[in-house]
């Protein structure tokens, strides 16, 4: 199957009348790394909450692995799509970290042994094993975010959706999460994140979806992040690497480097060139 996620003309209105999604369509291929960007209030979180059936479409369709999400397939979809909420306080509520992370696997009717293995692995992955007996409400915000991520990892879903995954994580925690996402990608898990971090999107994503006013403004590869008109329209800014090379038009680069590795390569080539000129 080409597209593991398909959203077609999705509309959603909150009870107070706010039209959060207004005819949004997008498609995501299996195994891809997708970053969803867009201004505050664009509808990113509302969209993500549709991807595992927490919200059901008011109009339009969401298909996961070719199957439409409805009240009937809701339970099935929750086993396929793991969602890490933007705010860990909406997700982490059990009386201990261990209990919280085991909640999903227990509900999947796995054996006690399998539940234990998965919870241990997930807590180790987010470096929270030493806090396993702690009450989540005594944790720092970043620690709660790690527990929320562990809860989803322990369910081993085919699709992992993370809303602002790096929020509140310290630099080492961010690097560690990036390593987890890379490992999941290696295992062909489809990963979707909503983020305001254009630098992360430029480094990590192979597909970028830009949202505004409850619709898709643009879909494409990370070159969208160097598109002046789009960046302005979506209230984004250029990734730092792009910004640096935009200020060096004399290098005549097209396309501009977007990742640190690409930048290093270009600079190294320029240095070589310069040292030849010196002779
Ligand atoms: N529970 C709610 N009730 C009413 N309106 C809501 C609710 N949750 C979100 N909204 C509104 O829906 C719109 C989309 O919100 P959403 O949280 O999906 O945006 P977002 O793109 O995730 O923003 P952010 O970048 O701030 O996380 C906004 O106008 C918001 O005010
Ligand atoms: Mg949000």
| Rounded distance from Cα 214 to ligand 1 centre (Å) | 10
pLDDT of residue 273: 84
Cα of 196 to ligand 2 centre, how many Å? 9
Instruction: Provide the pLDDT for residue 276.
Output: 73
The closest-lying atom of ligand 1 relative to the alpha carbon of residue 194 is 22
Question: Residue 1: what pLDDT?
Answer: 63
Query: Do 185 and 31 touch, CB atoms closer than 8 A?
Result: yes
Atom of ligand 1 nearest to the CA of 18: 5
Q: Which of 11, 13, 14, 213 to mutate for ligand 1's pocket (most ligand atoms within 8 Å of CB)?
A: 14
Within 6 Å (CB) of ligand 1, which residues are found?
14, 16, 18, 20, 38, 40-46, 86
- Which residues, listed in sequence order, are joined to residue 29 by a DSSP beta bridge? 3
Q: Does 228 sit behind a cis peptide bond, omega within 30 degrees of 0 on the bond before it? A: no
3 state SS of 121 = helix
Residue from 35, 45, 50 whose mutation best tests the ligand 1 pocket (most atoms within 8 A of CB): 45
Per-residue pLDDT of the chain (279 residues; tens, 9 = 90+): 679 999 999 999 999 999 999 999 999 999 999 999 999 999 999 999 999 999 999 899 999 999 999 999 998 999 999 999 999 999 888 999 999 999 999 998 899 999 999 999 999 999 999 999 999 999 999 999 999 999 999 999 999 999 999 988 899 989 999 999 999 999 999 999 999 999 999 999 999 999 999 999 999 999 999 999 999 999 999 999 999 999 999 999 999 999 999 999 999 999 988 877 766
Cα within 13 Å of Cα(51), Cβ side: 32
Task: Provide the phi-psi class of 60: left if phi over 0, else alpha when psi is between -120 and 50, else beta.
Answer: left
Q: Is 127 helix (H, G, I), strand (E, B) or coil?
A: coil
Task: Please check whether residue 127 is in contact with residue 147, taking contact to mean a CB–CB distance below 8 angstroms.
Answer: no
pLDDT at 278: 65
**Phi, psi for 84 (deg, rounded to 5):** -100, 115
Read off the pTM: 0.94
Check residue 279 and give its pLDDT. Answer: 63
Span from the CA of 19 to the centroid of ligand 1 (angstroms): 9
Q: Which domains does the chain possess?
A: 31-40+75-237 (3.40.50.300), 239-279 (no CATH)
Residue 107, number of CB atoms within 10 A of its CB: 13
pLDDT digits (tens, 9 = 90+) for 19-34: 999 999 999 999 999 9
Which pLDDT score is estimated for 2? 79
| Residue 45 alpha carbon to ligand 1 centre in Å | 7
């Amino acid at each position: 199957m080409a597209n593991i996620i398909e959203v077609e003309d999705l509309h959603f209105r909150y009870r107070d009348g706010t039209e959060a999604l207004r005819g949004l369509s997008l498609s995501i291929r299996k195994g891809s790394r997708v970053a969803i960007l867009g201004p505050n209030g664009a509808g990113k979180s509302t969209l993500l909450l549709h991807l595992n059936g927490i919200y059901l479409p008011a109009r339009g369709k969401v298909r996961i692995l070719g199957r439409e999400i409805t009240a009937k397939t809701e339970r099935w979809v929750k086993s396929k799509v793991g969602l890490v909420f933007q705010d860990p306080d909406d997700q982490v509520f059990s009386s201990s970290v261990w209990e919280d992370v085991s909640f999903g696997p227990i509900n999947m009717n796995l054996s006690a042994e399998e539940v234990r293995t998965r919870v241990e692995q997930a807590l180790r992955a987010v470096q929270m094993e030493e806090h396993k007996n702690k009450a989540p409400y005594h944790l720092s915000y970043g620690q709660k975010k790690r527990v929320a991520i562990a809860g989803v990892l322990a369910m081993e879903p085919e699709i992992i959706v993370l809303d602002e995954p790096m929020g509140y994580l310290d630099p080492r925690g961010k690097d560690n999460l990036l390593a987890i996402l890379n490992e999941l990608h290696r295992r062909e898990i489809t990963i979707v994140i909503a983020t305001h971090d254009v630098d992360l999107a430029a480094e990590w994503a192979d597909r970028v979806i830009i949202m505004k006013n409850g619709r898709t403004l643009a879909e494409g590869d990370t070159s969208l992040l160097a598109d002046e008109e789009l960046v302005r329209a979506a209230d984004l800014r250029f990734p730092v690497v792009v910004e640096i090379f935009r200020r060096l038009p004399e290098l005549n680069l097209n396309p501009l480097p977007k990742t640190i590795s690409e930048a290093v390569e270009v600079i190294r080539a320029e240095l070589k060139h310069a040292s030849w000129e010196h002779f």
